[in-house]
Each structure stands twice: as structure tokens, then as C-alpha cells.
Structure 1
């Protein structure tokens, strides 16, 4: 099976089924007559940047669509309250200091959100640098993050 065809089929299956594990997807592909391994599916998941989102009936499923803004904002608020030590605005940047091991998760949440003026994030172990398009965007983002405390 060509990779392009497999990727297209995976997108269709993710959209039409509640797939909670990679092995469930492997089973569906095998049922459709395609010989794939879990390792191949795992690489495809990374390539597609699939994420787990909440199911209506509990648990999590894979999705190609971004988590809605409310869910992301809720996650960000929890992270701000639980792990943010300090926040500083420096021209085009917002610098978040976190407890050790939490900076990457700030970056993942922020990168998944549509925030006006945010260009991207760079994160280490305890520091998350948010790059903004203008100093005004940085000021607005810092204020928004502080309001979540």
C-alpha cells in the first residue's frame, strides 16, 4: 500500500470511527485488506500530528482536528495555576518560568491554540519562551496568561 493512500485512509477512518488506540486502527486497516504494522501506523500518526481528544462518553480518541479553544484554554488555565512560577514580557517575547519539567507542556498547549500575534514557542525544562509578532501582542498575551492565575 502506498503511503499516500494509507494516510488518506487513516484520515477517513479517524474521522468516521472512535479510535482510541493505534492497535484499533491497525485492526481496521487489516479488515479493509491492508497489511500494516503498528510501527508503521505509529509513524503515520506522528506524520499526521494526530492528537488525543476527549470522547463524548469518556476516555480519549485520536483526532486530526485541533482541540476546541475552550478545552485548550481550560488546560492552559490549569497549567498556569499548577506550574507557572513567573511570567515576564520582554519586547517581542513572553518568558514563562515553570517548575522543572513543565515548560514543554506549556509549549504544547500554547502551540495548539490560535492566539493572535503568537508566532511560536521554544521550551526547555523550566522555561518557555513565547515569540510574538509585535511588542503589543506580547503585552496582550502576558496579560491574558496572568488573568488565568
Structure 2
């Protein structure tokens, strides 16, 4: 499994469960048929900048820091607003034309956001190509990004 897919699943697990130890996360992932080691999860915890936050019962659980996603989303919003030229979608693909030099940065930020609709993102100097998981998802991510920059 790709790291980005595994980390997307970890985010979802943390939203739905109170996870107190990395071993608990390993067990849940393995129960879902995802083979991981505790060392892999340890690297994911560091890479995702997960926090341990107190619970009402005095224990500490893992949580995704809100500022990381918010910061990434703010950067994506700002750069898209500044660089957006045009966009369209067809079937399960979505393409954004941007000012030269902005494609790689926007592609990276979209990847970091780990949108559920996006299977993969590729970017060159002035183009961002999004491959969605379905035709409907291509339309959703297209509209989501346009809404973000006020182009809808």
C-alpha cells in the first residue's frame, strides 16, 4: 500500500476512534487487511505530525494537528487564487491550467491535502492533472477547488 493511502486511512481511523498507542493503530490496520509494522506506524506518526491530546478520562490519544491541514489548505487556496487560469473535467480526470511555474507546487499541496476524491495528481510547469476515483469524484474535486478560489 502506498504511504499516502495508508496515511489517509490513519487520518480516518483517528477521526472515528480514540487511539492511545501506536500498537492499537497497527492492530486496527491489520484487522482491515493492511499489513504494517510498528516501525512503519512510528514513521507515519512523525511524518503526519500527529499529536497526543488529553481525553476527559485523563489518558492521551493521537490526533491530527488541525494547523497542518489548515496551513496546507490556506497555501493551496492562496496559490490557486494567484495562479489559476482555467480548468475542466472529463470522466474521471480533472485538469487545471495555471500560470507557469505553479504546477508542481499546487500538485504537491493537493497531494498533501489527501482529498478522498483524488487517486493521483501529476503536475508540470503550468498544468495540474488530477485522476479521480470515479467520474463523480472528478466533478466533486473540480467544484471543491473552484469553490476554494471563488470561481464557481
TM-score range, shorter chain: 0.5 to 0.7
- Pairwise CA distance, 1:104: 0.5
1:91 matched to 2:95? The reply is no
Q: What value does the CA root-mean-square deviation take over the aligned residues?
A: 1.9
- Pairwise CA distance, 1:137: 0.5
8 Å contact kept, 2:117–2:140: no
- Structure 2, unaligned runs of 5 or more: 1-42, 50-66
1:115 matched to 2:98? The reply is no
- Pairwise CA distance, 1:68: 2.4
Equivalence for 2:132 = 132
Q: Say which one has the larger Rg.
A: 1
TM-score (norm 1): 0.55
Equivalence for 2:101 = 101
8 Å contact kept, 2:87–2:94: yes
Q: Output the CA distance in 1 between the equivalents of 2:144 and 2:68.
A: 18
Find runs of 4+ consecutive structure 1 residues off by over 4 angstroms: none
- Structure 1, unaligned runs of 5 or more: 1-47, 50-62
- Pairwise CA distance, 1:108: 0.5
Deviations 1:5-58 (Å, cap 9, x if unpaired)? xxxxxxxxxxxxxxxxxxxxxxxxxxxxxxxxxxxxxxxxxxx89xxxxxxxxx
TM-score (norm 2): 0.54
Number of residue pairs the alignment of both structures matches: 89
SS of the equivalent of 1:128 reads strand
